[in-house]
């Protein structure tokens, strides 16, 4: 999957992309949903009050769990 990326609402400089691994991307999105994010076809919406450090931590955690084969 050569994804152009999923923009993150409120953070125009951040884009979530799956690169070549659709399974890890799907698991990452599922983990983000479980963490309170909304996933739309055209954007990722973080929970209200999310600041940059929390955004980065949530995405990092969701990605790491996805790589380990876990889905929330």
Instruction: Answer yes or no: is pLDDT of 31 > 90.
Output: yes
Q: Which of 7, 6, 11 is nearest to 55 (CA)?
A: 11
What percent of the chain shows pLDDT beyond 90?
69
Instruction: Answer yes or no: is pLDDT of 35 > 70.
Output: yes
d(C-alpha 66, C-alpha 11), whole Å: 22
Tokens describing residue 42: 């055209």
d(C-alpha 53, C-alpha 71), whole Å: 22
Q: What burial letters (b/e) apply to 10-37, b meaning 16+ CB within 10 Å?
A: ebeebebebeeeeebbebbbbbbeebeb
What percent of the chain shows pLDDT beyond 70?
90
Mean pLDDT of 21-31: 92
Instruction: Answer yes or no: is pLDDT of 3 > 60.
Output: no
């Amino acid at each position: 999957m050569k994804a152009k990326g999923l923009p993150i609402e409120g953070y125009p400089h951040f884009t979530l992309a799956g690169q070549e691994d659709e399974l890890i991307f799907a698991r990452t999105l599922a983990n983000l949903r479980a963490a309170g994010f909304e996933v739309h076809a055209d954007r990722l919406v973080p929970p209200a009050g999310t600041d940059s450090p929390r955004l980065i931590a949530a995405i990092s955690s969701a990605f790491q769990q996805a790589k380990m084969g876990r889905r929330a």
